[in-house]
Amino acid sequence: MHFLSRRRTARALPVLATLAALALTAGCAGGGGDGGDQQAADQKQTISFYHWRAEDKETFDALIKDFQAKNANITVEQSIFPSEQYQATAQTKIRDGSVGDVFTVFRGAQFESVAKAGLFADLTDEGFVDNYQESLIEPGRREGKQLGLPYQLVFNDPLYSKAAFAKAGVQVPTSWPAFLDTCRKLKSAGYIPVAFPGGDPNNAGQLLNTMVMNNLPADDGFAQLEQGKTKATDAWWVKTLTQYKQAQDAGCFAPNALGTKTDAALALFAQGKAAILPTGSFQVAAVRKQAPDLEIDLFAPITTETPGEAKYEGVYNATFILGVNARSAKQAAAKKFVEYLSDPANAATYANGTAQLVTVKDVKYDSPDLAFTEPWLTKKTLLAPRFQFTNLEIRSAIENSVIAVLGGKDPAQAATEAQKIVDEKR
């Protein structure tokens, strides 16, 4: 059957071919390049602020409103993704420029990969860098350049309920035997001693920071493990795994801990059923939403036999690293926003609104929830070792050996299996 005559076909084909070529060209052009059409500084600009802290949205909304009032030509839009998704997709999105004129990254592997890809604009010579405590922004530095500014100062130490400790008649333990005894007493008093979120790998790994801080062969022990200078089968890691097993045998963890998600663990703690939430100060705001009156504080399990042997009292992490996208066509506006956040008065608004300490100098903390975290600024703390890993496959292998032990595997066997994967993935 002939739909068109031969002559019509001859006419139609070039037209259709042209249309197809145009469609393809338009499709390819849609991807965008590096943004060659830089807008003039006095033009209205909208910048994207890309981060993972959904719980901070309201505080950032207030800050952005104030920033926009002071910078009438700049509009800031927040793009917020859950942290697991952020870990996975941030690099791609920052690279293609779809979001993130100003973006944030986690300390460790994510910072390293974004830096390696050249996605950070160099902030070394920006005046606002001086607003930060120099030692705390070290994780945002690479090869002598200040690429990012760690904004939050987090203590990845377990939260505990003062009421539960008082009811069980226990003090904050300062040695390993005292910690195990605390678990037994809390359990006898009817509490789940530790609401361990074993069903959520991301938060299950937070306890590792404090469990290992006094067992590491060196402060950068996990980095050394990744480099092959130490092994998971060495005594320090087998000891750590054995202590997890001892904690389990002492009833520290509920039998169903490995199936417990973060939300459930948080609810158990906020409802007063569990005495310890082994995640960190970054969950204070979430606890407050569910239990405004719960009296809480931080502590860390000390894994040495006597208090005097312990080198560290806890861990900290400088994270939520602010960066300006090197591929953004609106870098000037993006830097203005980072400068605004770096101002001590604005940093104080953020800190008090989100119950997070910040790395900015001269910040006045007036939130009651920061009153108990502030003393930790002067304690002997180690930069959270879990984030020394730059290879997340190796980190997973190590963290999974803890899960294997809590699932019933012998610590030495679990360590051997973890080391096999470490050797493969190094």
Partner 1 sequence: MTATEPARRAGQVLEPPPAAPIQAGRKRRSPTRPSPLLWLFVLPALLLYVVFFVGPTLFALQYSITDWDGISPSFGYVGTANYTELFTDDTIFRRALGNNLRFVLVVVVLQTVLSLLFAMLLVRNTRGSILLRALFFFPTILSSVSVAFVWSFVYDPNGGLLQEIGVPGPAQGWLGSEDTALYALAVTQVWFHTGQMLVVFVAGLQAIPAELYEAAELEGASGWQSFRHVTWPLVAPATAIVLAYTTIQSFKAFDLVFAMTQGGPNYSTEILATLIYNTAFVNFRFGYAAAESVVFMVLVGLVAWLQRRALRVEREA
**Interface residue with partner 1, options 215, 352, 400, 419 (CB under 8 A):** 400
Number of Cβ within a 10 Å radius of residue 90 = 25
Residue 67 or 196 having the CB closest to partner 1: 196
> Binding of partner 1 at residue 150 (CB under 8 A)?
no
Closer of 10 and 345 to partner 1 (Cβ):
10
The 10 Å Cβ neighbour count of residue 413 is: 13
| Torsion sign (Cα): 377, 348, 324, 31 | positive
Q: Is 424 in the site for partner 1 (CB under 8 A)?
A: yes
Find the binding residues for partner 1 in span 159-188 (CB under 8 A). none
- Cα dihedral sign for 357, 360, 366, 372? positive
- Map tokens 């956040």 to a residue: 341
Interface positions, 188-227, toward partner 1 (CB under 8 A): 198-201
**Of 59 and 262, which CB lies nearer to partner 1 in the complex structure?**
262
Among 36, 144, 255, 292, contact with partner 1 (rule: CB under 8 A): 255
Q: Which stretch binds partner 1 (CB under 8 A): 64-72, 127-135, 284-292, 399-407?
A: 399-407
Supply φ then ψ for residue 96, to 5 degrees.
-80, -5
**Judged by CB under 8 A, which stretch of 41-49, 91-99, 238-246, 369-377 contacts partner 1?**
91-99
Minimal CA–CA distance to 338: which of 148, 117, 59?
148
- Tokens describing residue 302: 């000390």
Please report how close the Cβ of residue 230 comes to partner 1 at its closest, in angstroms: 20
Least distance to partner 1, CB of residue 111, Å: 13
| Residue closer to partner 1 (CB basis): 200 or 313 | 200
Q: What mask of x and - would describe binding to partner 1 in positions 27 to 66, judged by CB under 8 A?
A: ----------------------------------------
25 binds partner 1 (CB under 8 A): no
> How does strand 45-51 pair with strand 74-80?
parallel
Which residues are CB-neighbours of 294 under 8 A, at least 6 positions away?
161, 163, 270, 272, 287, 288
CB of 353 to partner 1, least distance (A): 30
Q: With binding defined as CB under 8 A, does residue 421 bind partner 1?
A: yes
Chain length of the chain: 426
* Binding window for partner 1 (CB under 8 A); candidates: 45-53, 88-96, 310-318, 321-329: 88-96
Radius of gyration of the chain (CA): 25
235 touches partner 1 by CB under 8 A: no
Size of the site for partner 1 (CB under 8 A): 45
160 secondary structure, DSSP code: E
- Would you count residue 84 as binding partner 1 (CB under 8 A)? yes
Distance CA 60, CA 364 (A): 18
Let me know: does 123 contact 129? Beta carbons within 8 Å: yes
Nearest-5° angle of CA 404, CA 265, CA 320? 90
Does residue 89 touch partner 1 according to CB under 8 A?
A: yes
Judged by CB under 8 A, does residue 117 bind partner 1?
A: yes
Q: Partners of 316 in the beta sheet?
A: 383
DSSP string, 142-173: ETTEE--EEEEEE--S-EEEHHHHHHHT-PPP
How far apart are the C-alpha atoms of 423 and 1, rounded to whole Å? 67
φ/ψ of 325, rounded to 5, equals -70, 120
Site pattern 257..286 for partner 1 (x: CB under 8 A): xxxxx--x--xx------------------
* Number of C-beta neighbours around residue 362 at 10 A: 10
Q: Which of 33, 228, 375, 407 binds partner 1 (CB under 8 A)?
A: 407
CA 104, CA 356: separation in Å to the nearest integer? 16
Query: Does 144 contact partner 1 by CB under 8 A?
Result: no
Q: Are 51 and 103 in contact (CB under 8 A)?
A: yes
Q: Give the one residue of 404, 411, 415, 419 binding partner 1; rule: CB under 8 A.
A: 404
Examine residue 20 and tell whether it contacts partner 1 (CB under 8 A): yes
Token pair 């604009």 is found at: 121
4 contributes a contact to partner 1 by CB under 8 A: yes
Cβ contact 400:422 at 8 Å: no
Q: Which is nearer to partner 1, 136 or 266 (CB)?
A: 266
Residue selected from 18, 124, 256, 290 as contacting partner 1 according to rule CB under 8 A: 256
Could you list the residues that contact partner 1 (CB under 8 A)? 1-4, 9, 12, 16, 20, 84, 87-89, 91-92, 95, 113-114, 116-117, 119, 198-201, 255-261, 264, 267-268, 391-393, 400-401, 403-404, 407, 420-421, 424
